[in-house]
Amino acid sequence: MEIKGIFKLENKSWVLGSVIVAILVLLPILFLIRGLLKIEESDLVYLLNTILLEYTLNTFYLIFITSLFSLFFGILPAWYVSKYKFAGRSFFDLTLYLPLAIPSYIMAFTYSDILSFTGPIQSFLRTHFNSISNIFNKDYLQIEVLGVVLALALYPYIYSASRISFSLIGVNYVNLSKNLGLSKIKSFFKIFLPLSKPAILSGLFLVIMEVLNEYGAVKYFGVNTYTSGIFRAWFSMNNIGTAIQLSIILLIVVLSLFYLEKLINVKSKFSYSVNSKRQNLRNLKETKLFLVYIVCSIPVFFGFFIPLGFIINNVILTYFKIDFNQLFELVSNSIKVSTIASILIIIIALLFLFIEKITKNKINHIISQLISLGYALPGAVIGLSLILMATSFNDIFSSLSIMGSIYLLIYAYIIRFLAVGKSPIKSSLDKHPDSYTDTAKNLGLSPIMQLKEIYLPINKFALITAFIVTFIDLMKELPITLILRPFNFDTLGTQTYEYAIEEMIPLSSIYSLSIIIISTVMLLFLKNIINKQINVPRG
């Protein structure tokens, strides 16, 4: 009976189409798993006996620190900016997102330089306050420092999620808390925080994923994480099989994390839209004002303005060395690949989610979960899986040179970042009741018309948001570009990295500055859109 049920589908051609696209997206991962079956000898046991435990514990510790600080940097400012009126509020509202524009490896390089013995802080202390300068003369390349630096780069994920959530919680809940006689602090912990839990958790999930995939910053700080273990097996020990095994284990762990997040979120699912009027911003007491400024300034200044100032200073120092022709070429390369890949990602993500919505069958539900798998793998492993795939195809069609083409690079981008583009669209789609689809069906609209007339317009903002978020992530992307790019193809990210690992941070600055400027402009657009969403008049 059940089998029969599966074959009795509505919109067969759509389902079929989505299955085909899903197979294309998942194909490289299948090749990775095929690689797993061909392993001859594995060093997994050896690694387990020597370094893997330490690496894993390091990873957990790093995730813990980064999560803790990201939550601290993200939630409180979001709360104050969403609920209170104070001078400079709109400034903070605008700038608290901006650290997202700075790639985490640039953040790490910058801070290690600022804090180092030859950096500005210690030099200043030595020349002016020589007596106390020794107190600050420490080794700052520690896992704890790294955790905080990563938190500075990643907290915007939590900030943006909680900012939207806090703003959307309407006046009814505020009144409720007042009626219950809860103090402001209590109502924050008892009502607003639990209500925003799904949003905050999804932000935290992104932070954890980013930490897991972090490579450059982690390596520089000498902190060995699980991902370093994968690369150790692959590069240093030259055992690709072990690297694949480790990646698959990581994949399983992330999948369970993913599942856990969903489990928690399903329990506390509720709909904002039934909520009533928007709440007006409250005034702040003078005594509290100081605290608010501190809480909002720390992430903004340490996460954005200080690194930016440092980078600009470096650019000025090396101004005469800048090759503007090359810079222009790199900027255009970066923008082009990022734009094309983001557009494709959004089209594919929308396709899957839309089909899931209109068909409501299990296959599509599973598919739309599975296509996020790529996000759980480190970029270089995706690169590896595509190399494995492309070369197997090369054996069959020897004339098709897929390897080392721009198409393969974009393909890899899609696999890796589909989940990033999917999540804003999904959360937007989830807000609309299923009755939309039913009504549309009753009106006799074909699926393509439904997409065109209903889903595209009502999800317009979500689509733009998804585009910007993926675009920025792609601008910052490094490992995939390094391993899969065609001849003579550089992006801003790769050029920054090349100078940075050769310890020529000042020379890399103009390229990182370009990444930051482009991403900042996009983020300001995004901010504009989010404001429109938050300020939408509701009954």
Partner 1 sequence: MTIKVSIVEFISFFFFDCDQTEMVIKNNTDPSNIFFIIIFLNVFLDYICSNIKLIYIQSKLKIMKKIFYSLLVCLLVSCNGEKKSDEVNLYSQRHYSVDKLQYENFEKLTGIKVNVIKANADELIERLKNEGKNSPADLFVTVDAGKLYKAYDMGLLQKISSDVINSNVSEKLKDKNGFWIPITYRARILVYSNERVTKDELSTYEDLVDKKWKGRILVRSSSNAYNQALMSSIVANNGAEASIEWSKGMVNNFARDPKGSDRDQVKAIAAGQGDIAVVNSYYIGLLLSSKKQEELNAGKAVTVFFPNQGENQRGSHINISGIGLAKNSPNKQNAIKLMEYLTSETGQKTYVDNSYEYPANPAVNPSEIVKSWGEFKIDELDLNMLGEYRDQAIRIFDQTGWK
Closest distance to partner 1 from the beta carbon of 3 (Å)? 37
- Which residue lies nearer to partner 1 by CB, 351 or 363? 351
| Sole residue written with tokens 């939309």 | 436
- Which residue lies nearer to partner 1 by CB, 382 or 530? 382
Closest distance to partner 1 from the beta carbon of 458 (Å)? 25
Closest distance to partner 1 from the beta carbon of 420 (Å)? 22
Helix (H, G, I), strand (E, B) or coil at 283: strand
How far is it, in rounded angstroms, from Cα 293 to Cα 172?
Answer: 28
Q: Under the rule (CB under 8 A), what is the footprint of partner 1? A: 46, 50-51, 112, 116-119, 122-123, 137, 139, 141, 219-224, 228, 231-232, 234-238, 240, 317-318, 329, 332-333, 336, 340, 380, 383-384, 387-388, 390-391, 394-395, 397-401, 403-407, 482-483, 485-490, 494, 498, 501-504, 506
- Which residue lies nearer to partner 1 by CB, 72 or 393? 393
How far is it, in rounded angstroms, from Cα 114 to Cα 330?
Answer: 27
- Which residue lies nearer to partner 1 by CB, 11 or 339? 339
List the one residue out of 150, 83, 79 whose CA is nearest residue 110: 150
How far is it, in rounded angstroms, from Cα 110 to Cα 506?
Answer: 10
- Which residue lies nearer to partner 1 by CB, 239 or 359? 239
How far is it, in rounded angstroms, from Cα 211 to Cα 286?
Answer: 38
Show Cβ contacts of residue 293 under 8 Å, excluding neighbours closer than 6 positions: 86, 88
Closest distance to partner 1 from the beta carbon of 114 (Å)? 12
Give the rounded distance of the alpha carbon of 284 from its chain centre: 33
381, 243 Cβ separation under 8 angstroms: yes
- Which residue lies nearer to partner 1 by CB, 101 or 350? 350
Closest distance to partner 1 from the beta carbon of 527 (Å)? 29
Closest distance to partner 1 from the beta carbon of 64 (Å)? 19
How far is it, in rounded angstroms, from Cα 45 to Cα 76?
Answer: 45
DSSP string across 104-133? HHHHHHHHHHHHSTTSHHHHHHHHH-TTTH
List the one residue out of 505, 499, 411, 390 whose CA is nearest residue 120: 505
- Which residue lies nearer to partner 1 by CB, 406 or 454? 406
- Which residue lies nearer to partner 1 by CB, 28 or 299? 28
Q: Which residues of 412-428 are buried (b: 16+ CB within 10 A; e: fewer)?
A: bbbbbbbbbbbbbbbbb
217, 150 Cβ separation under 8 angstroms: yes
Q: At what angle do helices 379-396 and 240-267 cross, to 10 degrees?
A: 120
Closest distance to partner 1 from the beta carbon of 229 (Å)? 10
- Which residue lies nearer to partner 1 by CB, 136 or 293? 136
How far is it, in rounded angstroms, from Cα 423 to Cα 22?
Answer: 17
Closest distance to partner 1 from the beta carbon of 446 (Å)? 18
Closest distance to partner 1 from the beta carbon of 498 (Å)? 4
